[in-house]
Structure 1
């Protein structure tokens, strides 16, 4: 089976309120790309992936006016994808849902949140992801109350062959200092955002550790908005969110070879899965933000990972149509895992 994760930039802007595709020549939310161009590029990428399940990060919005599942299923029908059924979990108010597109003939999937619900006071032991997590982040004897702006999507999956495993789709908080108007604001917001992201990672790690302790086959996938050495504030906290989620030495761990390579890179080139234009510097920044981390039980099945990077992956580079589509479709590139389930 092929499992994928894909952050689709401004996917929501490609649909009307009825979930129909806006296949026209008006500008998309991506710079200098029309809605029709982005939709067609996404169709080509999803078709090339030919995945059995795709964790869609920044999926179409879910609110009183819009519905994510019908929009995704409309997209799947438009391009005759095998992964034609969609499921979401707890909706959020960011216009960036987390959803799974999957082949209903190959797997049964249900939203299966773990942990206890909380009130405003929260809980400190892995509460449900739509609740409140209590944690003292700065050792001031005062607990912080942390919420997920995008609650992770917890899924129970059963293949038609009878194999059962769990998926968690995640989109951790960005560390970017949005709204900063001065250097002091940049410093303050960057540190505050990293603190909140680390708290989300600790919360999510508690859930991962519980599954690992039970021997549950598990996949964590999505945009973690972090990796080793990505910003100058990491030394203040000693470790990245990725390291927390994977597990520290002596803990039960989950594995992603790209993350391991990045952790060991130092002066060597690390893998990348996203490409952003930095206007102030007139250049592109590349980063490893997208991961598929798996439990030891799944790693024992000898899976293969692939980042569909248009410049780094020879198969993508050698196909100009696919290469161009990957660049036009999103500022992130898909990551796939091929595994015998």
Structure 2
């Protein structure tokens, strides 16, 4: 087992349909049957994930699209089985509110370095919803289309809110996020696709406004905060950003001029400042109609001003753009085989 480094490494990783790699008893399906990854067996995907998680060697990983929790399946059992099989330091798992889908948000961590407690904030709303940052498994109200009538918003995957404590006594707040996709699934025809895209975009932004209300509460309280995960969104990602003024990522980072109330993510900043299309990417998808790959910046780790002041090191584990990855062919190929997203990590040198 790798010796722990100085400081703290946290990461976020969207593992494409991790759930399909386990049976109902949480046992790994390490076989030659096809996985959800194109031309990849379940055994091959599990082997690739073992290489990636081992290389990450993180003290804590927010896993997006973690295995399902329901009456028959357990996210915790599946992830702890995987960690034990691979020999990871990060071997204890925790989730928050279960998802309405088969994809959970979970946190896998090293219990020798961290303790983690599910600690949801906000009051539960009524069925009518609340305008004031309700608990993430309830209902938020927001006027999506400026008609003076507020609509109800829910998360299909409620953000995971954790209170973390390091063995050195540092207290951290962590929010794991998997925001709603804006893809116009089910729409037939160009007009219907545009209409549904705008509707999904509004819901996405309302979710991000809800998240931002929670961020405001933590920053006002002086908490050391990390917000991480897959936003299915980013600066400049589509034409609807012009319609609404800001991306959801910008909203969560903070649009205020007050530096004490803004979160920091250098990859998002690069995308915001880019004028020639040069920016990092964290996901790679194959578009069959175009017969080519498309890359996007969808995964982020945003931190509060006090954590940013410690000069942390952010890294996207991109198989072609990150030199320490491209230099290791086995890791490069594993990243391509394991998921359509790549991990994003942050090293916090002053946190022990």
TM range (shorter): over 0.9
For residue 137 of structure 1, report the CA deviation from its aligned partner.
1.5
- Counterpart of 2:287? 278
The reply on whether 1:49 has 2:56 as its aligned counterpart is: yes
Find the aligned partners of 2:256 and 2:82 in 1 and give their Cα distance: 43
Alignment of 1:31-50 (within 5 A): 31-50=38-57
Find the aligned partners of 2:13 and 2:325 in 1 and give their Cα distance: 16
For residue 42 of structure 1, report the CA deviation from its aligned partner.
0.2
Q: Structure 2 regions of 5+ residues with no counterpart?
A: 1-7
- Counterpart of 1:321? 330
Does the residue aligned with 1:38 lie in a helix, a strand or coil?
helix
- Counterpart of 1:206? 213
- Counterpart of 2:241? 234
Q: 1:135 aligns with which of 139, 142, 166?
A: 142
The reply on whether 1:191 has 2:198 as its aligned counterpart is: yes
Q: Structure 1 regions of 5+ residues with no counterpart?
A: none
Alignment of 1:230-309 (within 5 A): 230-251=237-258, 252-309=261-318
Does the residue aligned with 2:289 lie in a helix, a strand or coil?
helix
Which whole-Å deviations, capped at 9, do the CAs of 1:238-296 have from their partners, x for residues lacking one?
11001100001324100000000000012141100000011111111100000000001
- Counterpart of 1:102? 109
Find the aligned partners of 1:121 and 1:334 in 2 and give their Cα distance: 37
- Counterpart of 2:4? none
The reply on whether 1:178 has 2:191 as its aligned counterpart is: no
TM-score by length of 2: 0.96
Q: 1:337 aligns with which of 340, 346, 350?
A: 346
- Counterpart of 1:115? 122
For residue 140 of structure 1, report the CA deviation from its aligned partner.
0.5
Which whole-Å deviations, capped at 9, do the CAs of 1:108-158 have from their partners, x for residues lacking one?
110000000012111000000001001111110111000001100000001
Does the residue aligned with 1:280 lie in a helix, a strand or coil?
coil
Does the residue aligned with 1:281 lie in a helix, a strand or coil?
coil
The reply on whether 1:6 has 2:13 as its aligned counterpart is: yes
For residue 182 of structure 1, report the CA deviation from its aligned partner.
1.7
Does the residue aligned with 2:87 lie in a helix, a strand or coil?
coil
Find the aligned partners of 1:30 and 1:119 in 2 and give their Cα distance: 40
Does the residue aligned with 2:182 lie in a helix, a strand or coil?
coil
For residue 232 of structure 1, report the CA deviation from its aligned partner.
1.4
For residue 228 of structure 1, report the CA deviation from its aligned partner.
1.0
Which whole-Å deviations, capped at 9, do the CAs of 1:74-98 have from their partners, x for residues lacking one?
0000100000000000001211100
Find the aligned partners of 2:49 and 2:268 in 1 and give their Cα distance: 26
- Counterpart of 1:158? 165
Find the aligned partners of 1:77 and 1:179 in 2 and give their Cα distance: 40
For residue 211 of structure 1, report the CA deviation from its aligned partner.
0.5
Query: What is the root-mean-square deviation of aligned Cα atoms in Å?
Result: 0.8
For residue 299 of structure 1, report the CA deviation from its aligned partner.
0.9
Find the aligned partners of 2:277 and 2:152 in 1 and give their Cα distance: 39
- Counterpart of 2:91? 84
Find the aligned partners of 2:44 and 2:253 in 1 and give their Cα distance: 37
Find the aligned partners of 2:245 and 2:151 in 1 and give their Cα distance: 19
Q: Bigger CA drift: 177-186 or 135-144?
A: 177-186
Q: Bigger CA drift: 178-187 or 58-67?
A: 178-187
